[in-house]
Structure 1
């Protein structure tokens, strides 16, 4: 009678060691988690960061003095574009003047604000008796045509005197019948064109103002 040897016992599984604070893998994992959390927090703060800037209440033509009464304060997210705008922390410059047309509700930019000595154009009033297009509005660009008087008070062929000048104001006058009788506009004129325009006005030339969406060439 043979005897069978007892079955061999299975090898015992290796016992897992409890991770230690000195384990470099654990430390690296903690650092990665902390860095991720810090990055998310910084991103949220940046996305939610606003800065107080000025917004124009109503349209301000070129040459208008700008005061705090003309402005509202609003908080906006500008990011890298902040340097292009005048912030409340920076404050409104002394003797601030609009050197380009400012539209109501738009933010006040550095490039649109200056002083009187920075203006290279002067407003000149024109009386336009011909119908003026509704597209010729304050801040838009227009061409000015003049027809001077020749012999026997005969008006010559119209000539383009000013091309792509900016309108600073417009005032329509109504006749007794309710129709538009004449329009008084102000256009911004550079010094080199001022003499010719004033000469046309003093000699009672006929003046026509035509919208020019493209502005000066």
Structure 2
């Protein structure tokens, strides 16, 4: 009697099924490749955007409120600002005609577009006050001061001092020098809004005594 034996390999009990080699036509493989390519492209685009520099203007020196802004006051600097680049004055756009600083811009600061305007847009204007008593060392533009006045009476005496301006911003500070080299009067440019301007000018025109006191606790 002839016995027929099947010589094909058989899977024994407990053996794991054999994995088939993936085909290029397998949709899961194609989707995976697309995801990898998309991720790589995103990373490259992000690195390219971070590498992009924009030229904007920076202040060459302190620019006080109300000062006209010209090319001599500015220097072009390349910076990486990404999405915030539009908030600063670009070199490509140039300096607007008749531009003045609407707030103090300090030396080395990037020029915000919002810090420039026209003289008509200023809600505060600088007024020069000469004071005999020197302000504390280190007082500078941007600090806050209280302005006190003592009005002259008909008998050439002075009334009690009263507070006229509280926490006025210093726009500029110029310390004078006497002939002997000692400190003389100090010219303090303070920013005054239109509402307080008449009273202050009236005090100045009537030879009132003016005292300027640093107010370190006032907010900017």
Which TM bucket (shorter chain)? 0.7 to 0.9
Task: Give 1:76's aligned residue.
Answer: 79
Moved over 4 A (4+): 7-10, 12-18, 214-217
Give me the whole-angstrom Cα distance separating, in 2, the residues matched to 1:181 and 1:69.
Answer: 30
Q: Is residue 153 of structure 2 the alignment partner of residue 155 of structure 1?
A: no
Matched position secondary structure for 1:195: helix
Q: Distance in 2 between matches of 1:76 and 1:156?
A: 56
Aligned match for 2:9, one of 8, 11, 17: 11
- Give the superposition deviation at 1:152: 3.7
Q: Residues 6-155 of structure 1: matches in 2 within 5 Å?
A: 11=9, 17-150=20-153, 152-155=155-158
Shift of 1:98: 0.7
User: Counterpart in 2 of 1:207?
Assistant: 210
Query: Within 2, Cα distance between the matches of 1:145 and 1:105?
Result: 34
**SS of the counterpart of 1:81?**
helix
Structure 1 length normalisation: TM-score? 0.84
Q: Could you list the runs of 5+ residues in structure 2 that have no partner in the other structure?
A: 12-16
Q: Relative to 1, partners in 2 of residues 1:91 and 1:63: Cα closer, same or farther, differing over 3 Å?
A: same
If the length of structure 2 is used for normalisation, what is the TM-score?
Answer: 0.83
The question of whether the paired residues in 2 share the 8 Å contact of 1:136 and 1:210 is answered with: no
Unaligned runs of 5+ in 1: none
Kept after mapping to 2: 8 A contact 1:63/1:99: yes
- d(CA) in 2 for partners of 1:12 and 1:87? 77
Question: May I ask how many residue pairs the two structures share in their alignment?
Answer: 213
RMSD: 2.8
